Structure 1
Amino acid sequence: MRAHYGKPWELRNTSLTLSEIVRRGRARAGTTLIACVDNESQDVLELGRIVTPAPCRGDDDEAEHRAIHALSGELRRIATSIGPERPRTLDGRAGSPIAGTFVTVVCREGRVVSTDVEWQFLSAWRYSNHFMAAFDGDVYVVTPHGWTSTLTGESGYEPALGSGTPLTPVPDPGPEV
């Protein structure tokens, strides 16, 4: 377990929180889970899921732009359905503090290293413009061999996609609401 350094978007017990997301989201290879985690309690508040997109990095800048734009739209749709609202004050300013963090968990086969699949989510979150009372948190990868953080490199053996977890892609069952 890593010490929490006062950055509200960082998980205090990454392995425990990821285990809860993987369990509640019924993690399957080929699925990406989006969780809204309460910054104070670190409870997993809500979950959504999408089919993991193919990596969009390559030589075609226009295709990459379109892919990131489409992924940003998907993330915005999930964020607005699972995230805490940020009501406005009478003068139009944001009226509530940032209460949560969106944690992205890419479930896939392969090595426990961040790839272009995981990195594309960082760009997509940046341009998602969800305006919810939640930070865009880290992107994690969970494989049968363990997990790792895309931003910090933190890693562990548990959770992992285990023997009880089918390793075949599944259709998107939609957000858990």
Structure 2
Amino acid sequence: MDVLPTYELKDLHRLVREVAAQVSLDEDTAWLALVHRPSTTQTLLRVDPLPVPALLDDHDDISSHLRAAVESFDLGWRRGVGLEHMAVTIIVRPGFTVFGPNEAVWLRGWRYSNHMQSIFTSAMVLVTEHGWLEFMSHVAGAEPRMVRSAA
């Protein structure tokens, strides 16, 4: 049996389905999922809406919003204990399921968030009308998909 590094998710397909069961993956929304022990038991603890839209402009600075969201988890520093939590960003937007300039804004926001919490924040899932894709692992699926807004 292969042992996953602690910063990898055990079952991305299951996680995306669990998130979709808890929240509606509506167009132009963004979510932050908190996962306990991502590489072993992978328990989804909560899914919170982020106070910014999924579609961002290149000049947008979302780092303070991401910092506040992670700090709300109240994990703090835990000396002597390995990292046991992961924050997974879920970006729901129309278009191809390909990471582009919009997602670069999200990655830059995480880079400068300086949240100082004992948590992994590298997992990012893009959800579109075509399915979903995770940034680091390139794991993807056709379902669930984005829910189109009634316009």
Common fold: TM-score over 0.5: yes
Q: For 1:76 and 1:138, how far apart are their aligned partners in 2?
A: 15
Gap change, CA 1:43 and 1:23, over 3 Å in 2: same
Identity percentage of aligned residues: 24
Structure 1's 17 and 53: CA in aligned 2 closer, same or farther, altered over 3 A?
A: same
Query: Which among 79, 84, 88 is matched to residue 70 of structure 2?
Result: 79
* Amino acid of the structure 2 residue aligned with 1:52: A
2:22 aligned with 1:24: yes
Contact 2:32-2:47 within 8 A present in 1 as well: yes
- 1:106 aligns to what? 91
**Are the counterparts in 1 of residues 26 and 149 from structure 2 also a CA contact under 8 Å?**
yes
More helix by share: 1
Unaligned runs of 5+ residues in structure 2 are none
- Which digits, 9 at most, give the CA deviation of each residue in 1:2-60, with x for residues without a partner? x975222211111110111122122211001111111242111122212224131xxxx
Aligned residue for 2:117? 132
Which structure has the larger Rg? 1
Residue matched to 1:59? none
Equivalent pairs, count: 146
- Selected match of 1:10 from 8, 11, 16: 8
Q: For the Cα contact (< 8 Å) 2:63–2:110, is it kept in 1?
A: yes
How far did 1:83 drift? Answer: 5.2
Alignment match, 2:149: 168
1:113 maps to a residue whose letter is V
Q: Which runs of 5+ in 1 are unaligned?
A: 57-63, 88-93, 170-177
TM-aligned CA distance change 1:154 to 1:24, over 3 Å: same
TM-score (norm 2): 0.84
The 5 A counterparts of 1:31-110 are 31-39=29-37, 40-50=40-50, 51-56=53-58, 64=59, 67-68=60-61, 71-82=62-73, 84-87=75-78, 94=79, 96-110=81-95
SS in 1 for 2:26: coil
Shift of 1:114: 1.2
Please tell me the root mean square deviation across aligned C-alpha atoms, in Å: 2.2
Letter of the 2:49 partner, please give it: R
Equivalent residue of 2:121, what SS?
A: strand
Deviating more after overlay: 28-37 vs 44-53:
44-53
